Amino acid sequence: MTNIQQVMKHVQARMQEFQEGLDAQVLEASSGGGMVTARVSGKGDLKALEIDPAVIDPSDPEMLEDLIVAAVAAAQNGARKFSEEHIRRTAGGLPSQFSDLF
């Protein structure tokens, strides 16, 4: 096997490991003192949303909307940070000319 083939196999294995790591990770953030909690994957995909019934006020739907947006945005921001760190760790074992692929 040529050197480039070995490097490509290594890159493919690292990419697979990277994707699996992001899929498996669940990040959580809350807003409103824990009244709304969002869970996202390491990729930032919304997986679950919990809303405390006490925050549901039919006369003020905008407040609930704001809490949901804040919780989801915070969870997705955490996923971005996790992903960036995961990229650094995963790319750390690659030859430097390939680390920018992540």
**Cβ–Cβ under 8 Å, residues 87 and 25:** no
Binning pLDDT at 50, 70 and 90, where does residue 101 land? low
Q: How confident is the prediction for the chain on average, in pLDDT?
A: 86
The tokens of 71 are what? 């919780």
Return the structure tokens found at 20: 């699996």
Instruction: Output the pLDDT for position 75.
Output: 97
pTM score, two decimals?
Answer: 0.73
Residue 93, pLDDT > 80, answer: no
- For the record, the structure tokens of 4 come out as 């480039």
**Residue 4 pLDDT level (bands cut at 50, 70, 90):** confident
Q: Which domains does the chain have, with CATH numbers?
A: 3-94 (3.30.1310.10)
